[in-house]
Amino acid sequence: MKERIKKLREAKEMAALGGGKDKIAREHEKGKLTARERIELLLDSGSFNEFGMLVKYRLGAPGDGIVVGHGTIEGRRVCLFSHDATVFGGSQGYMHGRKLYKIHEMALDMGVPLIGLNDSPGARVVRLEKAGSDDPYRVSDEKHAGVVFFINSRCSGAIPQISAILGNCTGGSVYSPALTDFIFMVDGLSHMCITGPRVIKSVIGEDVSIEELGGAKVHCQLTGVADFRVKNEQECMQGIRRLLSFLPSNWRERPPRIDSGDDPERFTDALGEIVPAQPTKGYDMHRVIKEIVDNGDFIEVKEEFAGEIIVGFARLEGNTVGIIANQPMVRAGCMTVDSSRKQARFIRFCDAFKIPIVLLVDTPGYLPGKAQEHAGIIHHGAKVLYALSEATVPKLAVLMRKVYGGAALGMGILPGFGTDLVFAWPTAEVGAMGAEQAVALFYADDIKQAEKPEEFRAQKVKEYNELYADSLALASQVTYVQDIIEPRETRRCLTRSLQLVKGKKIEPYPKRHGNMPL
């Protein structure tokens, strides 16, 4: 027995080196961590339990380019995989794919989050005369890397799926992360593209670097594919740990409650100074959010993409909430094609995992112009309406200043979208458009013919504001606004309201599924 245990230990020690010390050194020279170093950095110390470590050990390719298993983060169980670039470059062969698929199935069956540390060029390219068991697309087994997208879809909405891109990932190794809930990318290290620069050059003659094609900045700022851009792998693992602290383990559970020590009855006096009364003056909505939520702790999702809307997670009285807020500092807080995609996606995640939604509303409406119309604002804006209408989680809205035109629909202010409680500040305005724009539209000829045009214009603007921009008049005319509150009461109002609506139970209408405008 002792001899066999000795051999087992030696085999595992060798397998832990993956492709060997020389290849590990080359990864370090590139500024990269190895598959197991990443796992050690992410998980609680000593908590990792690996599966399939000795797969292909006798063939000199231990693990077949992937490390899989389970461990804990802050004591909570997770399943994860980490591509091993020292073995076949982390490419996906048959056994690799079986391990990858199996860990997804295990996470789904056990109801725990799935974290992917991706560093793979995709399917393994093999010479034709050697094609066979190493080729993931030439096998009869239905559970392999080529169809991991199927199990990704099964996991979607059932368990949180978090991806980190930690190398040059192409083909199937980017489609799978794209099906997960959140993607982290590291500046200068992470790249995602369907087709690499060499193939692009050979097919269409275009010269492009991998960074220009699919670097972290590209996907966090331009495409919106990724959610978080970080400086290094250490920051990436810390970010994953922090994000997970706001999320439940599966759709049946609620996110863990964390006692922040922040008084739920606390007044937020600074809000009256942060937010100007004039609807056309800008301010940073981040300051508002941090005043309201527990200890100012807010993790923003897609911070660099479609900045005109802010989405992310925070806590109120220790409980996770999803924040959706217009940002007057960017495009005046107008709603756009990109903001609609961002907002709808976030709403659906919150709804899938029982996370209440808080909407902080201050927008002049949808951004006008040919560019937005041709980009499909009708189609993309409809995604938000669908997501809001479908969501059954508690929804609270605070109308801080203005909401004009169709934005009242897109921010869930109007009745009929299932927003449970709507509150308004004394500065609240609801209308088809702002006073200045309405007067210019309806009284253009009268202004020209008036004896004193500017005085006439000012008088009409005043009348419009008294009719549509008076929150007291609003409260007396409609029932969907539950109360007009002082800005300083906002946190207390939200925490008390969440206590009321947290037990809300609404079942979706029975059907196979709807046809969302994707």
Which tokens hold the place of 222? 């331009």
Q: What distance in Å separates the CA atoms of residue 173 and residue 122, rounded to the nearest whole number?
A: 5
Query: Could you give phi then psi for residue 158, rounded to 5 degrees?
Result: -105, -45
Catalytic residue from among 20, 111, 157, 171: 171
Q: How far apart are CA 502 and CA 393, in angstroms?
A: 8
- Whether 405 is a known active-site residue: answer no
Catalytic residue among 406, 418, 440, 475: 406
> How far is the C-alpha of 188 from the C-alpha of 515, rounded, in Å?
39
Residuewise pLDDT in 10s, the chain (518 residues) = 889 999 999 889 999 999 999 999 999 999 999 999 999 999 999 999 999 999 998 888 899 999 999 999 999 999 999 999 999 999 888 899 999 999 999 999 999 999 999 999 988 876 544 545 565 555 556 676 677 899 999 999 999 999 999 999 998 889 999 999 999 999 999 999 998 888 888 899 899 999 999 999 999 999 999 999 999 999 999 999 999 999 999 999 999 999 989 999 999 999 999 999 988 899 999 999 999 999 999 999 999 999 999 999 999 999 999 999 999 999 999 999 999 999 999 999 999 999 999 999 999 999 999 999 999 999 999 999 999 999 999 999 999 999 988 888 999 998 888 899 999 999 998 876 667 777 777 777 777 878 887 877 888 878 777 766 666 766 666 668 899 999 999 999 999 999 999 988 887 788 888 898 98
CA distance 291 to 210: 41
Please check whether the domain covering 271-433+471-501 is classified as CATH 3.10.450.50: no
Catalytic residue among 407, 424, 428, 435: 407
The reply to whether 282 belongs to the active site is: no
**Where do the CATH 3.90.226.10 domains begin and end in the chain?**
2-245, 271-433+471-501
Pick the catalytic residue from 71, 172, 322, 434: 172
2-245 has which fold? 2-enoyl-CoA Hydratase; Chain A, domain 1 (3.90.226)
Q: What is the DSSP string of 259-321?
A: -----TT---TTHHHHS-SSTT----HHHHHHHHSGGG-EEEESTTSSTTEEEEEEEETTEEE
Return d(Cα 217, Cα 194) in angstroms, integer. 17
* Pick from 63, 72, 67: nearest CA to 42: 72
Residue 217: exposure state from Cβ atoms within 10 A (0-12, 13-18, ≥19)? middle
Contact between residue 491 and residue 268 where contact means Cβ atoms under 8 Å apart: yes
Is there a catalytic annotation at residue 406? yes
Catalytic residue status for 503: no
